[in-house]
Amino acid sequence: MLLTERLNKENFEKEPQPIEIEAEINHSILISKCSNTTIIIKGKANAVTIENTNRLSLVLDSLVSSVDAVKSQNFALQVLGTIPTVLMDQIDGAQVYFSKESASTRIFSSKSAGINLNVISGPDDDYKELPLPAQICSYYDEEKGDLVNEIVSHAG
């Protein structure tokens, strides 16, 4: 049986150098109440939880499970390897960068705005920026007898 070990990084503010964490597959990492800080996670961890941060930059190799970001502003995430899922709840402004290997990662967001996904695309392997929808229009379709949800697109 593999036990999960919890690593906590809390209350870092305006760190002049990135904070490096050597992770192992049984590590679940909590990053809380950090601002103006860069954290680099090397190796393959189980999961990362981020909460109540402002201007946090997170660079990670790979995860078994997910990054779960809650109540954070101006958040940046760069995945160098693979990650199956990113969960974002109450995020105000985020830049997410996926490697080619993580391009199919699932992103779930709620109560969030200003999230941009950057994926490597094209013959020159340049990043392509894709905004995640912040507004959904929902209505009941009587003919189908079901709820319909559509992304609201803005022309301009």
Q: Is residue 59 part of a domain?
A: yes
Q: List, in sequence order, the alpha helices (H) in 12-132.
A: none
What average pLDDT does the segment 95-111 reach? 93
- The sign one gets for the Cα dihedral 112, 113, 119, 122 is positive
Percent composition of the chain: helix, strand, coil (DSSP 3-state, to 5) = 0, 65, 30
Q: Is residue 112 part of a domain?
A: yes
Q: What's the CA dihedral at 49, 82, 73, 24 to 10 degrees? A: 30
- Residue-wise pLDDT for 2-58, tens only, equals 444 566 666 778 878 999 999 999 999 999 999 999 999 999 999 999 999 999 999
Q: Is residue 156 part of a domain?
A: no
Assign residue 76 the CATH number of its domain: 2.160.20.70
Collapsing DSSP to helix, strand or coil, 101 comes out as helix
- Residue-wise pLDDT for 60-98, tens only, equals 999 999 999 999 999 999 999 999 999 999 999 999 999
- Residue-wise pLDDT for 138-155, tens only, equals 899 999 999 998 888 765
Compute φ and ψ for 79, nearest 5 degrees: -105, 120
Which of 52, 70, 71, 69 lies closest to 60 in space, CA to CA? 69
SS3 track for the chain: CCCCEEEEEECCECCCCCEEEECCCCEEEEEECCEEEEEEEEEEECEEEEECCEEEEEEEEEECCEEEEEEEEEEEEEECCCCCEEEEEEEEEEEEEECHHHCCCEEEEECCEEEEEEEEECCCCEEEEEECCCCEEEEEECCCCEEEEEECCCCC
| pLDDT of residue 1 exceeding 60 | no
Could you list the residue range(s) of the whole structural domain that residue 67 is in?
5-151
Q: Is residue 101 part of a domain?
A: yes
What's the distance, CA 147 to chain centroid? 28
Domain count, the chain: 1
